A and B are shown apart, each in its own frame.
Chain A
Amino acid sequence: MISFIITTIICFITYLLLTTGSGSFLGLWSIEEILIGLILSLITGFITHGLFVKNNMRMANPMRWIYFIGYLIGPFFVSLAKANIDVAYRVITGKIKPGIVKIKPDLKTDLGITMLANSITLTPGTLSVDIDETTNELYIHWINVDEDALKKKPVDCKYICGNFPKWIRRIAE
C-alpha cells in the first residue's frame, strides 16, 4: 500500500512539472491537466508500484538525499571538470597509455554499484567496461595507467575513483 502511494505521488509531481504553463490554477496549471494527471498517476502507480519500490525503505531517509545532492555538487562536479581538462590535454597532445584493470569497491546493492559505475565513467581518465555480478568487481578502462597502482591486485580504489565508494556507501547502503 505504501509503495503504491509513493509511486503515485512521484508520478503526479513529475506530470505537474512537465505540464506547467497550461492554465491559471496557482498561475501554472489548468484544472483539466491536474485531473488527467491524477487519474494517469493513479493507474501508473497501481501497475508499477512493485517495480519502483522494492520492499525496503532505505531511500526514504531524507539524509541520504541531502548527501546525494552534496555529492553531486561537491566531489562529483569537481572531478567532472578535472576529467574534461584531462581529456582536453590528451586530445591535444595524444599521450595515452591505456589498459583495463580490476577494482573491488566492496559495495553490495545494485543502486550503489550503478552509481559508482556511472561516476567512474564521468571522472578523470576512467571508463567502466564490465562487471562481475557475483563478486561486484568492476573492470575499468584506464586511459593513463599508473605503474605504481599495478603492484597490488585488485588495484586499489583510490587510484581510480578517490573517495567515491565512501560517499556512495553513505548514500545508498
Chain B
Amino acid sequence: MAGEVNRRDFLSTLGVSVGAALTASAGSVIPSVGVAHAQEKPKGNIPDTPYKIGHMTFFTGPAAVLGEPMYKGQLLAAEEINAAGGLLGKRKIEILKADEAAGTDANVKELRRLKLSEKIDFFCGITSSGNTPALGPVAEELKCLTIFVDGCTDFLWDKAVPNPHYIFRITNMQSADGVTCAVAVAQTWPKIKKIAHIHPDYSYGRNAFDHFGIVMKKLLPHTEVVSEGWPKLGTTDFSSHITKAISSKPDLVVSSVWGGDYVAMYKQALRYGMFQKAKFASMIAFGVAPHAIGKDHPEGVIAGVHSNYHFTYPDGDRWPYNKSFVEKYHKRFSEYPNFQAEGGYTATYILKAAIEKANHLTGGWPEDDAVIAMLEGQMIAGPAGYVYIRPDNHQGYKDAVTGFSKNVAEYPFPILDPARIITIPIRNITAPPGWPKGEPTSTYTWIDKTWPVAKV
C-alpha cells in the first residue's frame, strides 16, 4: 500500500492530460487500418469462397441507438476490403446480421445456428455486457473465431472465460469506464462532497458504480455517496430516480445510463432542473450515435464515450486515419460514427491484418490458430488511436478518452469540447498482465491495493 500523496501529483503520474494534446503510446507500431496501407501479395492458393461473418448487435429498441453503429462500422470496413478484392485479395466478406435484442438465451442459440448451420468463419459484434459472458464460453466450445466489439464487462476475462483461445474483444475493458469518469471528476471538480448515482441495474451499471467508487476512495476520499438509483435497463421513465437524486442535494450526479434510455433521462432531468442543481458526469452519455443527442443537452457536463472514442478526436490532420474514417462513414451512412462504429471498423481491420500476417508465414488461407497467434499481441492504428491486443487475456487496450459536452456551429448535435478532451494512458487505469484475478474485478483490487490515498 503506497503512502499518501498530493492528488494533483498523483493525477500527473497517471498521465491524465486535458486539452487537445495527443497522448503518445509507447511501442513501435506499423499502422495497418485503412486501405491506404500497401498490401503484400498473398502467398499460396487462396480460395475464393466468401468469408462469412456473423454480426450480432442491437438492431432494435433503445439499445440500437448505441449498438447498431458497430454493424455499420464493420460493413464499411468489409465494403472497403471487398472493393480491393477481399481478404487476401480473394475472399469477399459476407456479413450475416443477428439482433442482440432477442435476449441472452436466444442469442446463444443464434450463435450456435450461425456457426453450425450458416458455417460462419468469424463472429463479431455484441453490445451488452449481459451477453458476452454467455456467448464467450459458447464461442470457445464451438471453436468459433470471435472478436467482441463491446460487451466489455471485466467478468468475461476474470471469470467466464479466464483462458480465452478463440475469443477476443476490441473496445476498452468496462472498469476503464468508471475509472476514467472518476479521474475526470477528480481532476475537474475536486471540491465536490456529495455524490448521487443513477445506473442501470445490471452488470454494466454495477461495474461503473464500483469503479467510480474505488477511485473516489483514493482521489477524493472526503466524498460520500448520498443517493443511489438503479433503474431497469430499457426504461424510459426516470422521474423517480431524478427526484431522489435531486432531493439528496448532491454536488454531483453520476450516471452510466446509456443509449435511448439516456436520451429520455436527460430530457426529463432538464425539466426537473437536475443540471442546474448539481454537476453531472456520465460514463457513456455520448456513446450513442451522435445525432441522437439534441442541442438541448446541457453543456459543460462530463459526457463520456465509454472511455473509447469520440469522432471529433483526434481531430484534423493530426491523425489521418480518424479524418478519413469519419469522412467515409459520413458519406456512406449520412451520420457520424460512435465508439461502436469505430470498434466494428477496427475489429475488421485487425482481423484482416492478422490474416495477412498469418498468410505471410504459412502460405495459403491460414488456419484459425495461426490467425489467433497473430492477433495475440497485435497492435494496430485505428481511427481512435493505437489499439493493442494483450496476449494473456485477448483484450484490446487503447488510451481512454472522455470530455465535456459543448454545442458548436458545425454540428447539429453537441460534441466533446475540442479544447478540453481528457485522455489517460490505458495502462495507468487497468490491471496489468500478471495481476491476480480479483473481486469484483482485477482492476478494482489493483486500484485498491496499489493506488495511494490522496491528501485532502
Partners in one complex: no
A contact set with B: CB distance below 8 Å: none
